[in-house]
Amino acid sequence: MPSPPMKPSIGTPDALAADVTRVLAPNPSAMTYWGTNTYLVGQNSLVVIDPGPNNAAHLKALLAAIDGRQVAAIAVTHSHLDHSPLAPILAAEVGTKVWGYGTSSAGRSARMATLAATSNVAGGEGVDLDFTPDVFLADNAEITWSDGTLTALHTPGHFCNHLSFRFGDSLFSGDHVMGWASTLISPPDGDLTQYRASLRRLQNIGLSRFYPGHGAPIDSPETTLTALLAHRKHREAQIFAALTATPQSVTEITAKAYHDTPPTLLFAAARNAFAHLIDLYDNNEISCENPLDISSRFSRK
């Protein structure tokens, strides 16, 4: 078996390629693994991807790694609190602009927009509600500077405004594809239907390496994408098997389908289960006792 990846040192620049440097933020947790990966792309002139949480030590580490070089842009994959809050602060320090898809509700599907407006469900993760980019990046828009070009790919699923950034044959995949676990899909900010479509979009487009928002680089992206799609199909089968003709709550269904999940991760598992239940319900495969909500009870038809 291959050796597990070496954990990088927090705050220390780590050269992953000639023009890609990682600086790890000091925010390790059960949901962030080692912490958030901030990337400096380029050599003489830089684009910074995902400055991370609003943390003074991380800001100091990033400024030291930048070392006076021009920062052409700050690009944000999505507006969770572990990825975007430091962006405007760093932008002010280095004299540049923040680029992103849109605010924290941009890119929502019609289903999730309705769910957000009519239910009591919240996303379940820390959302940066203040996030507004200076420059809005449409799907396939480019950030071009003296050291290269990043192409923004709208990859919603984990979060509605999620972008991945293509750089040559590499991809900065944010939390859409991570280097240590499958991603959390937490409605209404997360959408399983969008997530699967975004995974399929990235297949067969000639990518050789992913730089994820958490964890180590991924050098077998096609294998990883196939495995993630298979994982979701397997989870769907487990959730469907947990359903009966008697309506059950999301908590009850989660306890059956995720019986081997550590207690500390059961909350996240319940959010994933809810995402699958929405997808099954919208595909007319199961019934919902009440108007669709996190408190709804679900059953087989």
pTM passes above 0.85: yes
What is the model's pLDDT at position 263?
A: 84
Q: Do the strands 297-300 and 248-249 form a parallel or antiparallel pair, or are they unpaired?
A: antiparallel
Asked if omega into 88 is within 30° of 0 (cis), the reply is: no
What is the model's pLDDT at position 1?
A: 46
What is the model's pLDDT at position 2?
A: 55
Block residue for tokens 């684009």? 47
Q: How far apart are CA 126 and CA 32, in angstroms?
A: 12
What is the model's pLDDT at position 291?
A: 85
Q: Using alpha carbons only, give the angle 187, 274, 258 rounded to the nearest 5 degrees.
A: 130
Q: Using alpha carbons only, give the angle 154, 159, 160 rounded to the nearest 5 degrees.
A: 55
Q: Do the strands 248-249 and 209-212 form a parallel or antiparallel pair, or are they unpaired?
A: unpaired
Block residue for tokens 């602009």? 97
**pLDDT truncated to tens, each residue of the chain (301 aa)?**
456 788 899 999 999 999 999 999 999 998 899 999 999 999 999 999 999 999 999 999 999 999 999 999 999 999 999 999 999 999 999 999 999 999 999 999 999 999 998 887 776 569 999 999 999 999 999 999 999 999 999 999 999 999 999 999 999 999 999 988 899 999 999 999 999 999 999 998 999 999 999 999 999 999 999 999 999 999 999 999 999 999 999 999 999 999 888 888 888 899 999 999 999 999 999 999 878 999 999 999 9
Q: Which residues have CB under 8 Å from 19's CB, separation 6+?
A: 41, 42, 43, 147, 148
